[in-house]
Structure formats: structure tokens, C-alpha cells
Amino acid sequence: MSDFTSNFWSIYVAAVTVIGIVACLFLLWFSGKAKAMTAHDNTTGHVWDGDLREMNNPLPRWWVGLFVITIVFSILYLAIYPGLGNFAGKLGWTSQGQFEAEVAKGNADVAPIYARFDGMKPEDMAKDSQAHAIGERLFMNNCSQCHGSDARGSKGFPNLTDADWLHGGAPEKIAETLTAGRIGQMPPMAAAVGTADDVKNVANYVLSLSGSPHDSVRANLGKSKFAACAACHGADGKGNQALGAPNLTDDIWLHGYGENAIIAMVNNGKVNQMPAQAEKLSPAQIKVLASYVWGMSNVGATK
């Protein structure tokens, strides 16, 4: 689909291209027909350095030939490939089509390698040295930009080496996340909690759930107000993997630790997105990568 909402720029670029080619043709024709005013010795009358005279010789044939070849090539190119606005060209070539063809060829070339893992359980794949090496490379190329080369994440990007999972840490759940992506949303809850003081009390109650430093008086006052959060995080604050709601009792903080960070979360909410990888990776690659990620948080099971 075009990136523009109208055909103006498409027509503009096509017009400039055609005018440029026509101008080149006209220049070539004009240079061959125009006659410069010359003296009897075929000079223009311009003299430099006392004896350096400008001649009126015709353009070299090889230069004219190259100029003609360039124009013919441009016309043939625009007839075969896209270049004139919305005209697709006789071959119907597109960069997207070439990309998809190269991806398909690449997948076909590596299919025999991945075929070895078809019937293998994720737990066994995590122990396999070849699968581990492939999974590590897939992770470095596609996941490390957000989760870090050591997979320990950073603020806003989950640590994949611990046992804390927003949507579940089983191999099939990891594969589901890789395939379709995830969108995590925490709506602003200040209005549901109450006053600014109530929000501060709830923040201290949340800190108390994980045994983090907190104001016990405010935590007791915030316990009843936590009911507004329990729909997602549960009455005990242990979260809900079906919703992707974090466990608030494990002292693991994805978006920042402390009273101020929690208050900001309650007041402003948060939207986090894990992009889908299905268009980048084949099902076989996702299976190997999911096993590799699972293995990082289950080190004992992979030995």
C-alpha cells in the first residue's frame, strides 16, 4: 500500500522522470543541430593565455553513443521495473516480492537443519548443543536488542533468566509470545483508588506485599484501597498470567522500584509491547528459540 494518502507525489515523480528523459533527448538533438558562430579557422574567438584557442569541434562519437545508450537504458528500465508512479513495470517486480522470495529460499536452505528438531521435546532441545547454538544466534539477532545479550533485561524489558513470567514460562507459552507478540496495558487507576493520599497508601501496601521497605501505617490504610487493583493482580497480589498482570509479591519490578515508581504507575498507567516475530521467523525457528529461552530460566533442567 502506498505511504501517501494521494497520488500527487507519485504523479510528480513520474512527471519529473519523463521530463528529464525528454530534456536529455532534446539536448542531444539540439547540440547536433545548433551552429556556433565561428571564424574561418573553426574557432569561437575565445583565447586564453595568449594562444589557447577554443575550437568548435563536434562531440566525440563515443560520448554521443554513451549518451544515447543511457537514454535507451532508462526507457527500457522504466518499462520493465517500477519507476513511473504507480506503474508496476512489465515484470511486476517489487522489493517486497524479492524480499519474500529470498526469505523463502533461506528457509528452504536451512529446513534440513531444523528438521532434526521436529520431533524433539522443548526440554530435550534445550539440552542439545546444536539447538542451543542456533537458539543463541536467533536470540542475539532478534531479542537481545531489548532483553540484553545476557537476557537479563532492563527497565521495561523483562528478565528472561528468572522464574518470573507475565504470561507463563512454559515452552508453549514462550512460543505463543514469540509468534503473536504481547501488549501489556496497565490503565491509570488513580481515580478508582481515590485521593492522592490513597494512591500513596496503596503504593506502600504494594511494597509491603514483597517485604520491601515501606510505611506500615500507610500500608494498613492502603490495604482496603487495593481492591481496585485486585481485579487484575488478585486479592493476594500474586498476579494473573492469563491477563499478563505482574506478581506484586516477588520483589521484581519491571518498570521501576520504590514508592514514587508505583505512584507514577497508578497515576499514569503503562503500555508495553512485545512485537510479534511470526513474520520474521519460521515456526521451526520459533520452536528452537522458545526452547532456548526456556532453558535460560531452567538451567538445572538443561544439564
Position 300 confidence tier, pLDDT thresholds 50, 70, 90: low
Q: What ranges make up the beta strands (E) of the chain?
A: 43-48, 52-55, 182-186, 270-274
CATH classification code of 103-181+275-302 = 1.10.760.10
4 versus 181: the higher-pLDDT residue is 181
**What is the chain's mean pLDDT, rounded?**
90
Q: With contact defined as beta carbons under 8 Å apart, do 255 and 227 qualify? A: no
Does the pLDDT value for residue 38 go beyond 80? Answer: no
Of the spans 3-7, 120-124, 258-262, which averages the highest pLDDT? 258-262
Instruction: Tell me which long-range contacts 120-123 makes (C-beta under 8 A, separation of at least 24).
Output: 122/171, 122/172, 122/287, 122/290, 122/291, 122/294, 123/171, 123/291, 123/294, 123/301, 123/302
Map out the domains of the chain as residue ranges. 8-80, 103-181+275-302, 185-274
Does the pLDDT value for residue 25 go beyond 70? Answer: yes
CATH classification code of 185-274 = 1.10.760.10
Does the pLDDT value for residue 19 go beyond 90? Answer: yes
Residue 233 confidence (pLDDT): 96
132, 221, 230 from 213: Cα distances, Å: 40, 16, 21
Q: With contact defined as beta carbons under 8 Å apart, do 272 and 265 qualify? A: no
Tell me if 103-181+275-302 shares its fold with 185-274. Answer: yes
Residue 1 confidence (pLDDT): 45
Average pLDDT over residues 218-232: 95
